[in-house]
Amino acid sequence: MKASTPRVSLILCAYKDEATIGEALRRFSRQTYPDFEIVVVDSSPGDGVEKIVEDGFPEVVYQHWPSRLFPNDAHAIGVDKSSGELLVFSDPGIYAPAGWLDIMVEAWSRVHGPVGGSIDCYGNRWLDLGIHLGKFDPVLPGGSLRPTGIAPTSVLLCERRVFLEAGGFVPGWWLADTLLNWQLLDRGYSLYIAPEAVVEHHHRTTISDYLGERLKRGREFGLLRASREGWTVWQRLVMAALSVSFLRLVPLLGRTVANAWKAPRRWSYLSALPIAAMGHAVWLLGETWAYLGSAVTGTERG
């Protein structure tokens, strides 16, 4: 790439990620893109992550936070600590090949808007494949550069100017990346997925942790959606009824199967569909909880 290419700040949030952050940083450090920095914001209670970063990666800009942060609250602090024109948000369980940043920036230069990469599962464990499918089926590898309605901050590139214009991350929400996507769309920006910009996600989640997270995030999504769209009590009650029926689960599973079918490892993902289906069902229960709770209490937090 040309020497005049924009500087990139790669920003990672960390919390008790000693098992993966070393490998993640090794791979991010080997990027062939000519001008980038890595920023890690760590809110772990101990110093395990700090020792890995400081002993093995002295070039990384490291910030420790004394109390636990929501992932995108940590990303927001990383933005303040960074200097790049382009911001790339990621996680310490993401493993990127050496040319990944080049592909992301090239995609951005084509669309001049926020770009997400595609996320494959690290390894072939059946549980991990199912968890991955349940969380990331819209951004599995496969296909060509295309518009999208959602781009998670596991792999999201956004110009700093655009990020700030959109208002950045709203603090205090697990789904602050969803809010950011909505803020960008509201301001007329299009989101894109670059399927050729493939990273791997190393899952270390138990089935109970996965389902608990799906419940929590489904509830939060329901609260945010109902508030954003200004739903009345009756609209929330109707959506609650739909969410506990098959009328929403079946189309959701259809989308997941279609996305898995386009992926290079289609049969591996499809074999793990029961795990993804469990996650989708629990997410919808979380939404139901949100709609019923907010309808009764009349508050955004339900």
The predicted pLDDT at position 19 comes to 97
Q: What is the CATH number of the domain that holds 60?
A: 3.90.550.10
Q: What is the mean pLDDT of residues 138-161?
A: 95
- Residue 230's domain spans which residues? 207-297
**Residue with the two structure tokens 């209670």:** 45
For residue 243, give the H/E element and its range: helix 233-243
Residue 1 lies in a domain: no
Within this chain, do residues 138 and 186 fall inside the same structural domain, yes or no? yes
What distance in Å separates the CA atoms of residue 30 and residue 98, rounded to the nearest whole number?
5
Residue 3 lies in a domain: no
Within this chain, do residues 55 and 118 fall inside the same structural domain, yes or no? yes
Within this chain, do residues 100 and 222 fall inside the same structural domain, yes or no? no
**Residue with the two structure tokens 């499918």:** 133
- C-beta of residue 279 within 8 angstroms of C-beta of residue 211: yes
pLDDT band for 1, please (50, 70, 90 cuts): very low
Residue 18 lies in a domain: yes
pLDDT band for 301, please (50, 70, 90 cuts): low
Percent of the chain with pLDDT over 90: 94
What distance in Å separates the CA atoms of residue 294 and residue 302, rounded to the nearest whole number?
4
> Which residues, listed in sequence order, are joined to residue 63 by a DSSP beta bridge?
41
For residue 183, give the H/E element and its range: helix 176-186
pLDDT in tens, 166-195: 999 999 999 999 999 999 999 999 999 999
Residue 2 lies in a domain: no
Within this chain, do residues 139 and 64 fall inside the same structural domain, yes or no? yes
What distance in Å separates the CA atoms of residue 129 and residue 108, rounded to the nearest whole number?
29
Q: Which tokens is 136 given?
A: 């990331």
Within this chain, do residues 253 and 166 fall inside the same structural domain, yes or no? no
pLDDT exceeds cutoff 90 at 137: yes
pLDDT in tens, 14-73: 999 999 999 999 999 999 999 999 999 999 999 999 999 999 999 999 999 999 999 999
The predicted pLDDT at position 300 comes to 56
pLDDT exceeds cutoff 50 at 94: yes
Give me the count of residues in the chain: 302
Residue 302 lies in a domain: no
Say which residues have a Cβ less than 8 Å from residue 127's Cβ, sequence separation at least 6.
203, 207, 272, 275
Q: Which region, left, alpha or beta, applies to residue 69 given φ > 0 means left and ψ of -120 to 50 means alpha?
A: beta
The predicted pLDDT at position 2 comes to 43
pLDDT band for 297, please (50, 70, 90 cuts): confident
- C-beta of residue 272 within 8 angstroms of C-beta of residue 126: yes
CA count, 13 A, side-chain hemisphere, 250? 4
Within this chain, do residues 63 and 165 fall inside the same structural domain, yes or no? yes
The predicted pLDDT at position 165 comes to 97
Within this chain, do residues 86 and 188 fall inside the same structural domain, yes or no? yes
pLDDT exceeds cutoff 80 at 163: yes
Look at residues 174, 201, 228 and tell me which one is the last residue of a structural domain: 201
- C-beta of residue 141 within 8 angstroms of C-beta of residue 120: yes
pLDDT exceeds cutoff 90 at 4: no
The predicted pLDDT at position 187 comes to 96
Q: How far is CA 154 from CA 96, 202, 281, in A?
A: 11, 12, 23
pLDDT band for 296, please (50, 70, 90 cuts): confident
For residue 24, give the H/E element and its range: helix 21-29
Within this chain, do residues 57 and 161 fall inside the same structural domain, yes or no? yes
**Residue with the two structure tokens 């062939």:** 32
Q: Taken in order 124, 130, 134, 137, is the CA torsion positive or negative?
A: positive
Say which residues have a Cβ less than 8 Å from residue 47's Cβ, sequence separation at least 6.
64
Residue 21 lies in a domain: yes
Within this chain, do residues 215 and 186 fall inside the same structural domain, yes or no? no
Q: Which tokens is 279 given?
A: 């996650």
The pTM assigned to this predicted structure is: 0.94
The predicted pLDDT at position 295 comes to 82
Within this chain, do residues 42 and 191 fall inside the same structural domain, yes or no? yes
Residue 232 lies in a domain: yes
**Backbone angles phi and psi of 198, in degrees to 5:** -95, 130
- C-beta of residue 93 within 8 angstroms of C-beta of residue 203: yes
Look at residues 176, 201, 226 and tell me which one is the last residue of a structural domain: 201
Within this chain, do residues 116 and 18 fall inside the same structural domain, yes or no? yes
Within this chain, do residues 129 and 244 fall inside the same structural domain, yes or no? no
Domain count along the chain: 2
Look at residues 167, 182, 201 and tell me which one is the last residue of a structural domain: 201
